[in-house]
């Protein structure tokens, strides 16, 4: 049987890397259409680096503090990714802003995961912001990256209901469970060529299969 041509990913992290782990786990399945060629962290202490090394994935630390400008930092990362033949960048808890030139260079080849239902609740502290706003659902979003923070065509979202007793931590934990499902799902859709960007919307035929509405609080029956 012909060997599956896999989409070559570079995952950018700054911390624990539980989303990186979800991608690593997905990539261990032989039929999964992507592989992780490189993991880059801007922090040498990031727990995600240990996860990568355990799985024999090449790692690189690019410490942003070592570079005078954001553009210099971004150029070093781009060189490493080009040398590694990166086809898709996955930001997974990468807590650095990227330069406009970097976003342009990797346009439609860079995705991010964010713990809210974008375009609501951009930036940091988004779980507390969702609680404070009193929304019935928050969730998570995988989207293509544009220059403005937490913007870009939305590929996959998962809705998570809020509970009256939620804290930022309890909500973050429930959202994270869904993040670990939708990040590999989004990568698969892209790798299988199912996502088309049109008028800044990321469309897949699979969207039309979702017919279930969610109501919170639920209607008694």
Q: Which residues are catalytic, by number?
A: 114
- Interaction between residue 15 and ligand GAR (CB under 6 A): yes
Instruction: Kindly tell me which residue out of 33, 37, 93, 152 binds ligand GAR, with binding defined by CB under 6 A.
Output: 93
Residue nearest to ligand GAR (CB): 93
- Residues 33 to 62 in contact with ligand GAR, rule: CB under 6 A: none
Question: Using the rule CB under 6 A, is 88 a contact of ligand GAR?
Answer: no
From CA 150, how far away is CA 119, in angstroms rounded? 8
Q: Which two tokens stand for residue 114?
A: 């964010």
Our finding on whether 139 is near ligand GAR (CB under 6 A) is: no
Options 7, 17, 144, 195; binder of ligand GAR; rule CB under 6 A: 17
- Nearer to ligand GAR by Cβ, of 33 and 139: the residue is 139
End-to-end CA separation in angstroms for the chain: 52
> Can you tell me the distance from the alpha carbon of 167 to that of 200, in angstroms, rounded to the nearest whole number?
34
What is the nearest approach in angstroms of ligand GAR to the Cβ of residue 77? 17
Burial string for 105-126 (b: 16+ CB within 10 Å, else e) reads bbeeebbbbbbbbbebbeeeeb
**Based on C-alpha coordinates, what's the Rg of the chain?**
18
18 binds ligand GAR (CB under 6 A): yes
- Say how far apart CA 71 and CA 76 lie, in whole Å: 9
On whether the CB atoms of residues 1 and 29 are closer than 8 A, the answer is no
Question: Shortest approach of ligand GAR to residue 134 CB, angstroms?
Answer: 21
H helices present in the chain, as ranges:
18-27, 47-54, 70-83, 100-105, 126-133, 168-191
Binds ligand GAR by CB under 6 A, chosen from 23, 41, 179, 202? 179
Query: Could you tell me which of 106, 117, 86, 105 has the C-alpha nearest to residue 11?
Result: 86
Q: Does 19 engage in binding with ligand GAR (CB under 6 A)?
A: yes
Nearest distance in Å: CB 123, ligand GAR: 7
Among 129, 176, 197, 203, binds ligand GAR (CB under 6 A): 176
- Give, as ranges, the residues between 107 and 136 that touch ligand GAR (CB under 6 A): 113-115
> Which member of 16, 59, 78, 204 binds ligand GAR (CB under 6 A)?
16
Residues in the site for ligand GAR, rule: CB under 6 A?
Answer: 15-19, 92-93, 113-115, 176, 179
């Amino acid at each position: 049987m012909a060997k599956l041509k896999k989409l070559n990913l570079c995952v950018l992290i700054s911390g624990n890397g539980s989303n990186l782990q979800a991608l690593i786990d997905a990539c261990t399945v032989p039929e999964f259409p992507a592989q992780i060629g490189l993991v880059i962290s801007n922090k040498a202490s990031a727990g995600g680096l240990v996860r990568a090394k355990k799985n024999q994935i090449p790692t690189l630390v690019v410490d942003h503090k070592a570079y005078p400008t954001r553009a210099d930092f971004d150029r070093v990362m781009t060189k490493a990714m080009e040398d590694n033949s990166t086809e898709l960048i996955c930001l997974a808890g990468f807590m650095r802003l990227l330069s406009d030139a970097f976003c342009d260079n990797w346009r439609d080849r860079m995705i991010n995961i964010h713990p809210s239902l974008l375009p609501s609740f951009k930036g940091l502290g988004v779980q507390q912001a969702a609680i404070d706003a009193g929304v019935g659902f928050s969730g998570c979003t995988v989207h293509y990256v544009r220059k403005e923070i937490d913007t870009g065509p939305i590929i996959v979202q998962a809705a998570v209901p809020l509970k009256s007793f939620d804290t930022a931590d309890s909500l973050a934990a429930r959202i994270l469970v869904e993040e670990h499902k939708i990040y590999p799902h989004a990568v698969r859709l892209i790798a299988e060529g199912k996502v088309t960007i049109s008028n800044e919307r990321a469309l897949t035929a699979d969207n039309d299969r979702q017919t279930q509405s969610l109501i919170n609080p639920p209607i008694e029956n």
